[in-house]
Structures are given as structure tokens and as C-alpha cells.
Amino acid sequence: MINRRDFFQYSGMVGVAVLVGVAAKKYAQSNNPSTETYKIIEALIDHMFADSDGYVTSQLNVVGYFKGVLNDTRISIDQRHYLINGTVWLDETAEEEYDKSFLKLTHDEKERLLKKISMLRWGDSWLYKVMGYYFETAFSDPIYGGNINGVGWKWLAYEPGFPRPNEVAI
């Protein structure tokens, strides 16, 4: 069933990147933010989640997990494009508001920008989606390569169920 917050994701596509490949057996990839998309995601997650629990976010393989998401064929191509497009829209808004890239904003400028876009339909929907994949990184089984050494589980004292997966099933 469509999540009530997914309604906007199919409209206004811009800057669609080409997505190729299938999910690797090891889901997450290297933590290196190799493109602008991943640099923006890394900066965004750092801002949203590093304020008080920074030690968790820094130990998760966030960028690598998002690379896995963008190559995951179980996620529709539209959803993956939407994730990428949001980084473009975020950066465009930063340029409009502050005349510089999101990556160059100060902490307070990022905070004000995120507050602003979170009040817009696309911003609310896109940020919710990003947060969902961040939580996937933090709470997925370590075999997916994001939740390294179960640091996300330890963060909130979460007990996983058993038996745990011994391979990436998707």
C-alpha cells in the first residue's frame, strides 16, 4: 500500500542519474562519498543524526549503505531516482537561499534550510525517506554492511531476533 507520505515522489523529476547493476551479495559498498549525491547525503545525515549520537553515525557505513539502496532492484527505479533527485533539489534550494552548495553551508544555515524544506511537501516526503534509509543502515543486520559490529543496535539497546541472516537475501 502506498505510504501517505509517498504521494509526491513521482512528480517533478529533474537531474535523473543513470542507475545500473544489481544488488551485490554484500549490500553496502565502500564508505567513500564518490559523487555529489553521496557527499550531500553524508552531509545531511551528519547534520540530522550527529548532534548528540555522533559516535553512532560515524561508525555506521551510511554512504556505503545508501550506495546499496541505489543499486537495489527490489526498490523501484522511481523511488531510487526520487532519492537522487532530492539531493539535487536540496542543493538547488541551498544555492537559491545562500548562493552556495549545501556542502558549504554552516551548521545554522543547514538547520534553517532543512526547517524550511521540511515544511514543503517534497521536502517533508524526501527527508522522511532519507531517514528511513538511515534507520535501515542502523538497524539492518550487520551482514548488510551498514550496521558495522551492530553499533546501531547497541545505540538503542535493540535486541535482534534469531536466527539472524547468514547472507544478504535480496
Partner 1 sequence: MTTKADICIIGSGAGGAPVAYTLAKAGYKVVVLEKGSLYDERDFKKDEIAVSRRSLFTPDLKDEFHMVETLDEEGKITKEGGWNFWNGSMVGGSSNLMSGYFHRMKPNDFKLYSAFGDVEGANVVDWPIDYETMEPYYTKVEEVVGVSGKMVEHPFREKRSTADFPYPPTWEHPIAKWIDDSCSKLGYFAMPTPRAIIPYDALDRRGCSYSNLCGSYGCATGAKSHAKSALLDKAVCTNNCTIIADAFVYKIESEKTEATAIHYYDKDGSSHTVQAKIYILAAQAIESSRLLLNSKNSHFPNGLANSSGEVGKNLIFSAGGSGSGRLDFKNLTQEQQDSLLLHGAFVNRSLQDWYEYNKDGKPYKGGTIDFLFEHANAIPRALDQVYDINGDLQWGKTLSKNLHHAFERSRVITFEVFNDWMPTDNCFVTVDEEEKDKWEIPVGKIRLYGHPQDLKVGNHLAQKAVEVLKGLGCEDISSNISAAPPPNLVAGGCRFGTDPKHSVLDVNCKTHDLKNLYVTDASFMPTGGSVPYTWTIYANSFRVADKILERLQNNV
Q: Give the shortest CB-14-to-partner 1 separation in angstroms.
A: 22
Other C-beta atoms closer than 10 Å to the C-beta of 137 total 27
Sign of the four-CA dihedral 169, 68, 134, 4: negative
Q: Give the shortest CB-90-to-partner 1 separation in angstroms.
A: 14
Alpha helices by DSSP H, 34-76? 36-59, 62-70
Q: What part of residues 22-51 is at the interface with partner 1 (CB under 8 A)?
A: 27, 47-49, 51
One of 37, 141, 142, 151 touching partner 1 (CB under 8 A): 141
What does the DSSP 8-state code read for residue 144?
G
Nearer to partner 1, 17 or 131 (CB): 131
- Catalog residues that contact partner 1 under the rule CB under 8 A: 1-2, 27, 47-49, 51-53, 72, 74-76, 114, 118-119, 124, 127-128, 131-132, 135-136, 138-141, 144, 153, 156-166, 168-170
